[in-house]
A and B are shown apart, each in its own frame.
Chain A
């Protein structure tokens, strides 16, 4: 059983609000990734990190930021939520090339 946790599981928030999605893993993995996934669709890479103080942008990074101050923690922040941000957000940490996913945060922006 993978030890990677995301909070909250579900979030409904108003347009313009700033939100932070939390992701924590206790496996000591250096590589952590954030993906956005609409129901039944592919996973789009938002941001990734190779370790502490390392962050890189993916394909959908323009409206969000991440930080990696500690190995186990990789939060994703949306500065100003919009309805187009409504989606599921999945965090993953990698052991080599094997990904362990959190249960996801389902975000609805109204």
Chain B
């Protein structure tokens, strides 16, 4: 049930780009992305609904491929503040009743 994220961890220099992938073994109703700073609770970034995609922030966007049951989060021109662990959250089933979080991707941006 739990979606799998890749990579597990990534280290970037400030200004570089990164892509985080989220794959599910079940058909997805929606995908949402969260960022969690060390010692803090996860914070919602954006949601992508079946049949569409949505950009949550100017330099952070995401795509949703329903056929492949995958979503990707794109971080462009990364900033130090982007550091944290990124989780995808998936809603499965036709009525979208089950919420599961992915395995997480640790992202570290260095100067």
B69 at the interface (CB under 8 A from A): no
Q: Out of A43, A48, A96, A97, name the residue touching B42 (CB < 8 Å).
A: A43
| A94 with B41: CB separation less than 8 A | no
Question: Which of B13-21, B60-68, B73-81, B96-104 forms part of the interface with chain A?
Answer: B96-104
Which of B30, B100, B103 interacts with A45 by CB under 8 Å?
A: B100
Chain B residues closer than 8 Å to A101, beta-carbon distance: 41-43
State A100–B89 Cα separation when bound (angstroms).
Answer: 13
B1 contacts which chain A residues (CB < 8 A)? 59
Given contacts A42-B2, A59-B1, contact A98 B32 (CB under 8 A): yes
In the complex, whether A107 has a CB less than 8 A from a CB of chain B is no
* Interface residues as binary, A81-110 with B (CB distance below 8 Å gives 1, 0 otherwise): 000000000100010111111111000000
Contacts of B44 in A (CB 8 A): 98-100
CB distance from A6 to the nearest CB of B (A): 9
The CA of A1 and the CA of B85, in the complex, are separated in Å by: 21
Instruction: Verify if B34 is at the interface (C-beta below 8 Å from A).
Output: yes
Give the number of residues in B that approach A within 8 Å (Cβ atoms): 24
Q: How far is the CA of A48 from the CA of B96 in the complex (A)?
A: 14
Residue from A41, A42, A59, A98 whose CB has the most chain B CB atoms within 10 Å: A42
A33 and B99 alpha carbons, distance in the complex (Å)? 9
CB contacts (< 8 Å) of B47 on chain A: these are 96-98
- By a CB distance below 8 angstroms, the chain B residues around A43 are 42, 87, 101
Interface residues of A (CB under 8 A from B): 33, 35, 40-43, 45, 48, 50, 59, 90, 94, 96-104
Sample (28) of A-B pairs whose CB atoms are under 8 Å apart: A35-B101, A40-B106, A41-B104, A42-B2, A42-B101, A42-B102, A42-B103, A43-B42, A43-B87, A45-B100, A45-B101, A48-B99, A59-B2, A90-B41, A90-B42, A97-B30, A97-B32, A97-B89, A97-B91, A97-B96, A98-B32, A98-B47, A99-B34, A99-B44, A99-B99, A100-B44, A101-B41, A101-B42
